[in-house]
Structure 1
Amino acid sequence: MNDIDLNNLLAFIVVARERSFTRAAAQLGVSQSALSHTIRRLEEKMGIRLLTRTTRGVSTTEAGERLYINLGPHYEGIQTELSALYALNDKPAGTIRISTHDRPADTILWPKLSKLLPLYPELNIEISINYELIDIVAERFDAGVRLGDQVAKDMIAVRISPDVRMAVVGAPSYFKNRVIPQTPQELTGQNCIRLRLPTHGGIYAWEFEKGGQILHVQVQGQMIFNQSVHILNAALQGYGIAYLPEEQIKPYVDQGQLIQLLEPWCPTFPGYHLYFPSRRQSSPAFSLVVDTLRYRT
């Protein structure tokens, strides 16, 4: 029993925690087949089955659950201590995991962090695209990126972009035989390209504000997407009217590919923020990433 490979025990802990060979393999940086072989080798060495594999996923046996409960906290303690040791090192090192969605990843995170990484070869950045408002602590992310009004009050939030103003647009071809709406109420009867919200699955109601009057309009239309890039493409092809961030559509408006409408009614929302729990232990790597992404006017 003394010659059990500790790496095999680590692999078991990650599989038991994630309840998935797919997610565990991704975290460990190995193939699923190699991970499955590692677990089988551990079970053979110990002479007892630790995991039960089904079509719905992976669960621990009674023996596996006991092993996980007793070893898991030690593994977490080791990870915490390693992070603390990294913090003692003046040179930024280690992995920073960030949850975001595609727009800030493309326009904010990558442009800034891509210039940082060559300067710090021991720093690793993992950017995970998540459209749902996930629990970054439960999912083991160091930080998340969301609009300011979507950040929980118990989180520390650092602004990484200016405010975001929304815009209503449509292609000239769409308005060829249609009247351009002058008020949000006139969107009724228009073919609007709608957004399905990822977290709860509802259809987003377009938000408008003018002179203290706030409107939420449940528009109608033939097409529904859950990503803004597809909404933009459909609008450019003349399929309907879209509601998108102004900075995303501005190049196409400037080029005459889209017509912007209802400008006096379009609201502005707090910009994107990097957020993280207040109890998160800072490190040179994390502090460097935060400072790099911080928005400066």
Structure 2
Amino acid sequence: MARPNLNDLSAFVTVAREGSFTRAASAMGVTQSALSQAMKALEERLGIRLLTRTTRSVSLTEAGERLFAAIGDRLDEIETELDALTELREKPAGLVRITTGEHAMRAVLLPKLMPLMHKYPDLRIEFDVSYGLRNIVADRFDAGVRLGESIDKDMIAVPVGPQLRMAAVASPAYLKTHPAPKVPGDLVKHRCINLRLPTTGGFYVWEFAKNGRELNVRVEGQVAFNTSPHIVDAAIAGLGICFLLEDELSPDIKAGKLVPVLEDWCPLFPGYYLYYPSRLHPSPAFSLVLNALRLSSAVTTSPGRTQKRKALPGARR
């Protein structure tokens, strides 16, 4: 037996409540003839009479009473939930979980999402600031924000931040007693402040590029850290040259506490991407977050296929 659809059942409930095809048709915005045909078709599919028709009224048969008692309130509940979903679309609410690094949080996410949260008080965002890479599917995150080289190829990736640049810097006091390096290879003669990577456990290999030529340098020094703020403090204290994202160092460069070196070996490279599973069906809340973060000229890309940098200090935190 073919199953009736919800439209047929909703029409039946309306007729039962109104006790009249005329009033029911008016309430539903259809013709009386179309409604009458729909009820006849419903009865034929069920194989039982639901309505007793007279010239002046419509009443329920025993089967009709039973069906009305069973589905009347349930259809009301369904309509209420559908209305709630419509309201949710128009007034987004719910939880969005994002895993990211410390720098991306400060530089991209908070500046863009704080105004959004003021505008939509029912929107909730949970940030997971991780020193390593999280599995967003297994750990049930809606999305992650990382540099392109960190992103699996089966993810949808959308650029959300401007281009970035690395900077090698040292304190004026350090450079008074140590001649500034002219090329990256000169760093082997200097004390450098190392970064222990959370993902691999090894030290970050400093990556430089100029005129299409790429050069990696393994540096040595007196001190190493696994967090960039402490590296900055050590550089200001004169313990050596450090290599971090330029905007993490900019306030101290402007204040004269740090001096850039090897600037012509530090080109721009693509910035942060928001990534999420390709099979994800975005909720209204997530769509709102995505639109707030997306660059105005952004095009969905697959950065993992082109990004060459192996790892970046600060960017992974």
| Structure 2 CA distance for aligned equivalents of residues 222 and 94 of structure 1 | 48
Q: CA deviation at 1:200?
A: 1.4
Q: Which residue of 2 aligns with 1:192?
A: 192
**How big is each residue's C-alpha offset from its partner over 1:1-46, in whole Å with a ceiling of 9 and x where there is no partner?**
xxxxxxxxxxxxxxxxxxxxxxxxxxxxxxxxxxxxxxxxxxxxxx
1:84-118, CA deviations, whole angstroms, 9 ceiling, x for partnerless residues?
Answer: 96996432111000000111111211122111112
In 1, distance between residues paired with 2:280 and 2:86? 14
Aligned AA for 1:270?
P
Q: Which string of whole-angstrom CA distances, capped at 9 and with x for unpartnered residues, describes residues 176-207 of structure 1?
A: 21111111111012111111111111111000
Q: How does 1:18-57 map to 2 (within 5 A)?
A: none
Give 1:248-263 correspondences, 5 Å limit.
Answer: 248-263=248-263
Give CA deviations for 1:270-297 in whole Å, capped at 9, x if unaligned.
1011110111111110010011111236
Secondary structure at the counterpart of residue 144 of structure 1: strand
- Helix, strand or coil for the counterpart of 1:197? coil
Output the amino acid matched with 1:165. R
SS of match in other structure, 1:175: helix
Over the aligned positions, Cα root-mean-square deviation in angstroms equals 2.0
**Which aligned runs of 4 or more in structure 1 are off by greater than 2 angstroms?**
84-90
AA aligned opposite 2:241: I
Match of residue 108 from structure 1:
108
Matched residue, 2:138: 138
- Matched with 2:158 is 158
SS at match of 1:173: helix
The letter of the residue matching 1:234 is A
Indicate yes or no: 2:177 matched with 1:180.
Answer: no
C-alpha displacement at 1:267, in angstroms? 3.4
Change (3 A) 1:227 1:295: farther
Shift of 1:173: 1.2
Deviation at 1:247? 1.7
Deviation track 1:147-197 (CA, whole Å, cap 9, x = no partner) reads 122211111111111111111000101112111111111101211111111
* 1-structure distance, mates of 2:133, 2:267: 22
| 2-structure distance, mates of 1:270, 1:243 | 18
Aligned-pair identity (%): 51
Deviation at 1:218, TM superposition (A): 0.4
Number of residue-to-residue matches in the alignment:
215
- Normalising by the residue count of structure 1, what TM-score does the alignment of the two structures yield? 0.69
Aligned equivalents of 1:141, 1:188: Cα separation in 2: 42
Determine the C-alpha separation between the residues in 2 that align with 1:91 and 1:152: 33
Supply the distance in 2 between the matched residues of 1:279 and 1:164 (Cα, whole angstroms): 30
Between structure 1 and structure 2, the one with the greater Rg is 2
Aligned to 1:282: 282
Q: Distance in 1 between matches of 2:265 and 2:178?
A: 20
Aligned to 1:226: 226
For residues 181 and 124 of structure 1, do their structure 2 counterparts lie closer, same or farther at Cα, with a shift above 3 Å needed?
same
Q: Give the deviation of 1:123 after TM superposition.
A: 0.7
- 2:113 partner SS: helix
* Contact preservation (8 Å) 1:87, 1:284: no
TM-score normalized with structure 2 length: 0.64
Indicate conservation of the 8 Å contact 1:171/1:259, yes or no: yes
**CA 1:189–1:128 in structure 2 vs 1: closer, same or farther (change >3 Å)?**
same
The alpha-carbon deviation at position 146 of structure 1 amounts to: 0.3
SS at the partner of 2:189? Answer: coil
What residue in structure 1 maps to residue 168 of structure 2?
Answer: 168
Structure-1 residue corresponding to 2:126: 126
Residue 212 (structure 1) shift: 2.3
Q: Decide whether the 8 Å contact of 1:93 with 1:122 is kept in 2.
A: yes
